[in-house]
Structure 1
Amino acid sequence: MANAYLVGIYNKVINKEKLQKYAVDALPAMMANGGKKALARSANITQIEGIPPERAVILEFESVEAAKNAYNSEDYQAALKKLDGGADRFLFVIEGA
């Protein structure tokens, strides 16, 4: 079974304080619920093509299902409530090759 990668693209940070409160709990929640490794979490993004996001996150999981389970976990959902509109973002899971 191929690994899967949860990718978070932050187009715009609307409220930095909310993002910081969310970030304190979000990664530990993902790791406690099946996350294998944080591959990237940064606002240091080099544009190659198109409009770069303000921030991006890539987390590794054993499977798409494991990533979905971590996202839906009670721990992560509690962290997500702290974000409360503090960022314009989207998340998706992609299966590894």
Structure 2
Amino acid sequence: MIYVPNQLVGAPVGTDVTLHCHVEAYPRAISYWARDGAVLLASKKHGTESAENGYRTHMRMTVRRLAETDFGNYRCVAKNALGEAEGSIRLYGEQI
């Protein structure tokens, strides 16, 4: 099961924004962030963290120095032997 607290997130260009996703899976799932069909790995642009507590995982991804090209849909995905689940977050631009 995946729970996304905020499915619509707005932030101005040039700022940092953190996206959150909660995963509950047994057996433990492999969890990751994706955008446009590609897995997002930790980098200077995308900082990823996850905190595990038993069969629960809280995933966070910070998108740094937002640019117009960063706006769009992000997915948090969890896969285990029993199946796959995903949550979607739409990131949009706000005026300062």
TM-score between the two structures when normalised by the length of structure 2: 0.40
TM-score between the two structures when normalised by the length of structure 1: 0.40
RCO higher in 1 or 2 (8 Å CA, sep ≥ 6)? 1
Higher strand share: 2
Higher helix share: 1
